[in-house]
C-alpha cells in the first residue's frame, strides 16, 4: 500500500490516499479484531481514515469495558 518501501507511513497519512480500499479496510478490521480480541466496526476506518485518528479510536475502544 502506498508510501516508500521500507518506510512507515506518517501518522497524518490517510488510509485511502495510501491506496486503501474497502477490501483492505476489511482485512485491517479483521487483523485488529484478531490481534486485540475486541469487536471493531469496519466503518471505523471510513470514519477515522487518518492513521493517527484510527489508532486513537481503537485505543478508545480498548479503554471501554468489554
pLDDT averaged over every residue in the chain: 92
pLDDT in tens, 42-57: 999 999 999 999 999 9
Q: How far is Cα 24 from Cα 64, in angstroms, rounded to an integer?
A: 26
Which residue(s) pair with 50 in the sheet? Answer: 14
Q: How far is Cα 15 from Cα 24, in angstroms, rounded to an integer?
A: 9
pLDDT of 2 reads: 60
Low-confidence ranges of the chain (pLDDT < 50): none
Is the Cβ–Cβ distance between 19 and 1 less than 8 Å?
Answer: yes
Q: 50 in helix, strand or coil?
A: strand
pLDDT of 66 reads: 65
pLDDT of 25 reads: 98
Q: 23 in helix, strand or coil?
A: helix
pLDDT of 64 reads: 87
Q: How far from the centroid of its chain's Cα atoms is residue 15's Cα?
A: 7
Amino acid at each position: 500500500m502506498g508510501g516508500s518501501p521500507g518506510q512507515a507511513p506518517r501518522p497524518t497519512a490517510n488510509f485511502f490516499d495510501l491506496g486503501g480500499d474497502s477490501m483492505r479496510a476489511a482485512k485491517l478490521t479483521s487483523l485488529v479484531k484478531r490481534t486485540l480480541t475486541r469487536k471493531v466496526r469496519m466503518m471505523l476506518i471510513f470514519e477515522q481514515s487518518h492513521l493517527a485518528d484510527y489508532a486513537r479510536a481503537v485505543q478508545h475502544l480498548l479503554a471501554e469495558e468489554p
